[in-house]
């Protein structure tokens, strides 16, 4: 009977801890999202661009300007405008784009898969190359290999990605002809290929249209490789740091004393323990590529969310700019919270906190 009561108390404590963790997670998510909405709202109000004039034009009569301002709710007190803004954002309504005359959310649904496909491939490239490089640099600490890996990472951090993009286009497209011209797909297939998911590579693969798959791959490989290099610089540096910490632990010395091979110690023990924080690093790197691919998309004329926001900003289309910013910020918040949750799930030491 005593054991049953003890077990019941333990189950109750675990349930209470889980409930508390979920509550904290929801509070952080809601608070962060409201903060994002507040920042974007006030930025939209302080910038020297009148959204009414962007719609009706500079030469519109005064009564037309006043009526449009009233229809948009811009004549209301600021707190009422913010309430309407939050209500619309929660419903996914960001108004109509001046540039495309479409609902902003419709444009975002069309553009975001292109950004996500580019960032996903870039993260895969950065992870597949960056993790082994980081491990190698840690194992060969202080050697010429370590110095080369660190220089590669330093260049990735220091050199502007738009400059690398222009150089890459000159070399691999204009000179060597290894990749396709800027854009996402050749005009030959643009009106004959039907995308279901918005991810052209997956759709072409699923539909077994190998000529389309090759064409899409030739368009995406160069910008994805540049984003992958940017991601590689961060992932290799963090992998090296995590591995150096693990290789200095006592369990590594004990494994060597038992006669285990160095390969097994590095890849099956040290890297397995370093993989817990490394998953968080990769998730944050992915979020960074989603929000930071604006310049890459502009250089390569990639029809993603970054290029959409850039064109909208140049045309004073603030509904589109703020809507795209909120979507990217929301994804970044979600990936941050997901990585934190994943870290707590994979690392037993954090579950008791």
Q: What does the pLDDT read at residue 127?
A: 92
Fold of 104-350: MetI-like fold (1.10.3720)
Domain residue ranges of the chain, discontinuous segments joined by +: 2-90, 104-350
Distance CA(182)–CA(203), nearest Å, equals: 20
- For residues 98 and 319, the answer to whether their CB atoms sit within 8 Å is yes
Distance CA(57)–CA(319), nearest Å, equals: 16
Q: What does the pLDDT read at residue 159?
A: 83
HSE of 279, CA atoms in CB hemisphere, 13 A: 15
CA-only gyration radius of the chain, Å: 25
The label of the residue with tokens 């993260």 reads 123
Beta bridge partners of 103: 96
Q: What does the pLDDT read at residue 223?
A: 93
Query: Positive or negative CA dihedral for 5, 6, 7, 10?
Result: positive
For the chain (353 residues), the mean pLDDT of every run of 10, in chain order, is 61 66 75 80 72 69 76 74 81 79 87 91 92 91 89 84 87 88 86 86 90 92 92 91 87 83 83 84 84 81 87 79 83 79 65 50
């Amino acid at each position: 009977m005593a054991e049953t009561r003890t077990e019941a108390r333990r189950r109750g404590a675990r349930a209470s801890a889980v409930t508390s963790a979920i509550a904290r997670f929801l509070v952080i998510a809601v608070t962060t999202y409201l903060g994002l909405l507040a920042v974007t709202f006030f930025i939209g109000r302080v910038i020297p661009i009148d959204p009414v004039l962007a719609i009706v034009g500079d030469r519109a009569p005064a009564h037309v300007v006043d009526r449009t301002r009233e229809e948009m709710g811009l004549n209301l007190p600021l707190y009422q405008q913010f309430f309407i803004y939050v209500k619309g954002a929660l419903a996914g309504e960001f108004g109509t784009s001046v540039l495309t005359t479409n609902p902003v959310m419709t444009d975002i649904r069309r553009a975001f898969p292109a950004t996500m496909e580019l960032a996903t491939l870039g993260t895969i490239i950065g992870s597949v190359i960056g993790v082994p490089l980081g491990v190698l640099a840690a194992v060969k600490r202080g050697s010429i290999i370590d110095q080369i890996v660190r220089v590669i990472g330093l260049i990735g951090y220091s050199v502007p990605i738009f400059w690398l993009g222009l150089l890459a286009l000159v070399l691999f497209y204009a000179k060597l002809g290894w990749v396709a011209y800027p854009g996402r797909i050749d005009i030959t297939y643009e009106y004959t290929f039907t995308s279901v998911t918005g991810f052209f590579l997956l759709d072409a693969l699923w539909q077994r249209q190998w000529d389309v798959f090759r064409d899409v791959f030739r368009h995406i490989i160069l910008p994805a490789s540049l984003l992958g290099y940017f991601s590689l610089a961060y992932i290799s540096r963090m992998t090296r740091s995590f591995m150096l910490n693990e290789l200095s632990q006592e369990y590594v010395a004990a494994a060597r004393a038992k006669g285990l091979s160095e390969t097994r110690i590095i890849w099956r023990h040290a890297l397995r323990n370093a993989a817990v924080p490394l998953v968080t690093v990769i998730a944050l790197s992915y979020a960074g590529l989603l929000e930071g691919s604006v310049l890459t998309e502009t250089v390569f004329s990639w029809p993603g969310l970054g290029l959409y926001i850039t064109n909208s900003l140049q045309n004073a289309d603030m509904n589109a700019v703020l809507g795209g910013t909120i979507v990217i910020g929301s994804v970044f918040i979600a990936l941050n919270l997901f990585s934190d949750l994943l870290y707590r799930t994979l690392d037993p030491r954090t579950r008791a906190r």
